[in-house]
Structure 1
């Protein structure tokens, strides 16, 4: 006699499989945020994902990033501020950006001790009762140049000989007394040249600074940019002004541009 094996209803099986799939489907990802208070950006805030015990701290501009999944609880704590916790909802997880505002902590003293002094409030009398600061006396003796002959000639040392700039005669009258020579004034475009030099130095250091701040994981794992194509990818995004945005500390906008442009950039690589 064949026995019929009891089976679970199809609806129950579907619910179980859907629950398992949903549990594994909630993948982790890095979210970015900024911590502020009534004054401005807050640095060195301890940021802890209580759910997975992963932590980080905010940088000097208040920015941070942390690995989360929907439903995680993130704690923000600082000595100067009240501790705050937020729960990562599906909307926050999808948005990927957070702005946290912390309230300043107020400390109340139970008591304090006010020591009595022997000063009477008159400078002529009180100054004789105040002890001399030994450090101030030592500093005063070190800064005393009364015994130094300021008019004595000192021979040039090696550094002075090497770095002394050339003497440039900027007197316009000398033009009329020097045959075939013209006076050159080197300061006319100096400000513009120094600005250009600063811009060039910033452009050279930009790829390394942004890699340190955003991390290798962001570029090579999250965006999937090949390591050998890293500099080329930044040049690809430069027309959108990422260097100027980064210089103005608009980091969230830079991240948004890099994420968007990485998709079209990877498609171009596949066509090569």
Structure 2
């Protein structure tokens, strides 16, 4: 008797389940958002707990019926629940809008790590000389290519480019560019270390002559060596001596 009751209940439950699934049909849709990363979003029928995921274009297909609730969820999107209507099943462009999860930072702390650089990361070999843009051009124009035709009886040849660059004056021009680049570098370094007020109020150089004094100072090899060491005290001391000489020069021009 007990076995008969159990078999009857199983049959009824199976019949109800089959009837419910028969009422549901496949609904096709697509999610949209402000991003192209639409793949892998979970689509769950809250009533049947069946699940699927969207493809690369955001499209999905799932078994459902009107009044079912589809739950859309993903790490990058806010959860969205959609109550299905009859119109959704006949809509060839059934789309669900997804909103991106925005993580607002309360504070951003920027730390300087002096030990992390191209050498420490293994990008540039240790001890390798670095070149500026002008220095690279000059090096390319004057470098001898001793590997050309390597392996021949002559044991290789030397590129004629350096000689041609020398004769055409290109080498001399590139050397001037390197010198100008160095002076510009020292000028910027000097202006970062000392303000305009320092030149005018401390060194007593008229404001209209400050730029001229900077050019005068970076022409001095001893000064640029000390300036490049970033020793502000030594730089300021020598700059004071140069300022005295420079003021004598502009005073003499005024006579």
Q: Please tell me the TM-score bracket, short chain as reference.
A: 0.3 to 0.5
Please identify the structure whose Cα radius of gyration is greater.
Answer: 2
TM-score normalised per structure 1: 0.35
